[in-house]
Amino acid sequence: MSKQFSSPPLTFDCAFESGNIGKVVRTETNAYDIYIRPDTYQEKWRLWFYFRVTGVRAGESVCFSIMNINKKATAYRLGMSPIVRSTSRPKWERIPEKYCFNYTDPRGKAKNPIVSFLFKFDNERDEYFFAFCYPYTYSMLQRFLSRVTAAGLPYFHRAELTQTLMSKTVDLLTITDPAVDDSGKKVVLITARVHPGETPASFVCHSVIEFLISSGPIPEALRRAVVFKIVPMMNPDGVYWGNYRTNGLGHDLNRKYLAPRPDAHPVISAVRRLVRALYMDEALPLPLEPDVVDSTPLENAETRLALVVDLHAHSNCTGAFFYYNANKNDPVRDAAEKAYPTIVGRLSRPFAAGCVRASTDSGKDGTMRRTLENLLEPSPFTYTCEVSCFGGLLDGTTSGRKEVYTPDSYMQIGRDLMVGLAEYLSLDVSGRS
C-alpha cells in the first residue's frame, strides 16, 4: 500500500535549458528523494542537477535528498551546499551550510553519498529553482556575445568555428588591436566549458572577454601584443541537456583529442584543426565542416602560439589552480612553463594556496593539454585551469575559514588571469601606445 501524506505533493520539473532531474520520490509529507538524470547515454556521470519546484505552501520546511551522486568525494564534504533562487528573490543564494548534510547511505553496500538539505518556502505563488552550482547556459552566452557584437568594436570579431551534432553554433572569438600588425604578436588560445556541469568556467571566460574588450592600460596593452582566440563554449549540446561531463552522445570530449571522430566529436576535431592552423600560422576557412584531423606531429620553432588555457571547474577541490605538463628532464622548460601560473598565484587569492600542479596520470590521456604536448614540437605552454565549484579555504586547511565563491568571484578570477598574463608578457601598461 502506498504511503498516505497529509498534504498535496510539490510539483517538480526540469523542462528548461540545462535542467536536470530524473526521478522524485516522496518519502514523507515534507521529504523528497531526488535522483539526478545521468548524462545522456552515460549512466556513470551524475552530479549536475537543476530543477524547479512549484505548488509550495508558505512557511513549510521541506527536506530534499540528492540520492545518486556518482562521486564519492565532492566539496559537499567541505561544507558546500546547493544554490536556490525564486521568482521573488532572483539572485542565486547558497542554502545555509547548517541546513545541508553530506553522508553515506546507511542502507546500501555501495556507500553512496547522499546530500540532504532543508529549505523553508516563503511565497506560494513563487517558482523555486535549485541547482548544483550557478547555471550559465548556451543562451546566456549567445545573448552576451550578441550584445558585444552589436557594439561594433574594431578589435572584436566573432565567427562560427563549427556546429555541434545538435546544429548549435560553436563560436570562435578573435580579440586583438587591428592597428598593430599581427606578425609581431603572440597568439593565446582560451577554451572553456568542454565539461558542461563546470559552469564556473563560463563565468571566468565571460569576464576574460569583458576585460579584453574594455578600455584601460592593461587590456589595451594586451590587445596590442596578443591575438586572442577564444572558444567560449566547446560543448553546447551537453550544456543544453544539463549533462555534467559529456556531449549528447555520452562522450567525455576532453578525452577525445587524440583521435576525434568527425561524426561524434566535430567540435574537438575543429579545435584540433584550429590549434594546427594557429601553430603553423595558416589561414583557416570557417566554418569548419566535420572532417578527420591530420595527426602528423608538427614542428615550428618560430610559432607564435605561446599559451593555451583550457578553463574548467572542480567539484572536489577548493581554490583555483593550473595543471601543467611537467618536464622532469628539462628543468629550464619546466620553470618557464610554471612562470605564468606562479604570477597568477601571486596576485589572485584563489590561486594562492597552490597555483600549479603537475599531472602525469594516464587518466588524463586524450585531454587537450596532454595531446598538444605530444603533437607539437616545441609545444605551446598548455594549461588546464581549474576553479572550485564551491570556494576557497583561507588558511589552507579543511577546517579553516571559508570563502564561498559567487559568480562575482569567478569573474574576478577571469580578470586576474588577464592581469597576470600582462605581467607574464612584461607588457608596458603605463597607458602609452
The stretch among 133-141, 194-202, 212-220, 360-368 that binds Zn ion (CB under 5 A) is: 194-202
Which residue lies nearer to Zn ion by CB, 273 or 369? 369
Choose among 220, 229, 424, 231: nearest CA to 322.
Answer: 424
- Interface residue with Zn ion, options 85, 195, 256, 304 (CB under 5 A): 195
Of the candidate spans 67-75, 190-198, 264-272, 299-307, the one that interacts with Zn ion by CB under 5 A turns out to be 190-198
Separation in Å, CA 409 to CA 30, 320, 336: 34, 11, 28
State yes or no: cis peptide before 378, omega within 30 of 0.
yes
Smallest distance from the beta carbon of 227 to Zn ion, in angstroms?
Answer: 26
By CB under 5 A, the count of residues binding Zn ion is: 3
44 CB-near residues (< 8 Å, 6+ apart) = 38, 70
Catalytic residues: 386
| Nearest of 116, 128, 134 to residue 58 by alpha carbon | 128
**Residue whose C-alpha is closest to residue 277's, from 162, 163, 187:** 187
Whole-angstrom Cα Rg for the chain: 22
In whole angstroms, the minimum distance from the beta carbon of 336 to Zn ion comes to: 25
Closer Cβ to Zn ion, 246 or 406, answer by number: 246
- The Cα 25–Cα 116 span in angstroms is 14
**Residues paired with 63 in a beta bridge:** 31, 118
Phi, psi (deg, nearest 5) at residue 301: -65, -20
Candidate ranges 39-47, 311-319, 362-370, 390-398; the one touching Zn ion (CB under 5 A): 311-319
Whose Cβ is closer to Zn ion: residue 176's or residue 235's? 235
Min dist. Cβ of residue 195 to Zn ion (A): 4
Provide the pairing of β-strand 83-86 with 113-120: unpaired
Binding mask 265-304 for Zn ion (x = CB under 5 A): ----------------------------------------
Nearest residue (CB) to Zn ion, 64 versus 134: 134
In angstroms, the CA 60 to CA 43 distance is: 34
Nearer to Zn ion, 169 or 246 (CB): 246
Count the neighbouring beta carbons within 10 Å of the beta carbon of residue 70. Answer: 17
Alpha-carbon gap, residue 408 to 391, rounded angstroms: 12
Residue 66, φ and ψ in degrees, nearest 5: -85, 115
Distance CA 174, CA 401 (A): 40
User: By CB under 5 A, is residue 370 in contact with Zn ion?
Assistant: no
Least distance between Zn ion and beta carbon 315 (Å): 9
Which residue in the set 168, 312, 369, 402 belongs to the binding site for Zn ion (CB under 5 A)?
312
Which residue stretch of 189-197, 219-227, 324-332, 422-430 sits at the interface with Zn ion (rule: CB under 5 A)? 189-197
- Nearest approach in angstroms of CB 133 to Zn ion is 13
> Closer to Zn ion at the Cβ: 177 or 198?
198
Only segment of 108-116, 119-127, 191-199, 374-382 that touches Zn ion (CB under 5 A): 191-199
* Interface residue list for Zn ion (CB under 5 A): 195, 198, 312
